[in-house]
Amino acid sequence: MTEHKAIVKQLSGITFIGKSEDSNHWVTMDGPANFGGSGAAIRPKELLLLSLGGCTGADVIAILQKKRIKLDDFQINITAEQTETHPKVFSKINLEYVFTGKDIKGKDVERAIELSQTTYCGVTAMLQKSVEITHNYKIVVPE
């Protein structure tokens, strides 16, 4: 088992910076002013959604590249439902994968997403134990 270490430091109020020893890059996190923050950075739960998108997105792109599938553009639209009571957690997350390009086959996209969701994406594996994660995709053919 590999150990990973990270540090989070308070800057002011609920404004924090954090970094992991893996990449050694700092990220800033903050909250709204009415909660003691300055609204100057991403909120921790938003960062969680971006982590999910980045993890599965990297898998999908790597798989499609191995199949020599050329994309003109790729994005993931993430929608999350949050509970109303504390602790306010995400109860549902949907990932909409949007592929743009010519000659993109649905079966290739479906397989890449399936492999990411069931085998490769560690963020999905951790989150799906506590939140319902769904996905869909669309292929946009440029004119």
Bridge-partner residues for 8, per DSSP? 18
Q: How confident is the model at residue 143 (pLDDT cuts 50, 70, 90)?
A: confident
Residue 124 is part of which domain span?
Answer: 44-140
Distances (CA, A) of 117 to 13, 101, 136: 37, 23, 12
Q: Taking 90 as the threshold, does the pLDDT of residue 65 lie above it?
A: yes
pTM for the whole structure: 0.93
Burial of 116 (0-12, 13-18, 19+ CB in 10 A): buried
Mean pLDDT of the region 112-128: 97
Q: Name the average pLDDT for the chain.
A: 96
Q: Taking 90 as the threshold, does the pLDDT of residue 128 lie above it?
A: yes
125 CB-near residues (< 8 Å, 6+ apart): none
Mean pLDDT of the region 103-121: 97
Q: Taking 90 as the threshold, does the pLDDT of residue 22 lie above it?
A: yes
What's the pLDDT at 102? Answer: 95
CATH number of the domain that residue 62 is part of: 3.30.300.20
The verdict on 76 and 29 lying in the same domain is: no
Q: How many domains does the chain have?
A: 2
The verdict on 64 and 10 lying in the same domain is: no
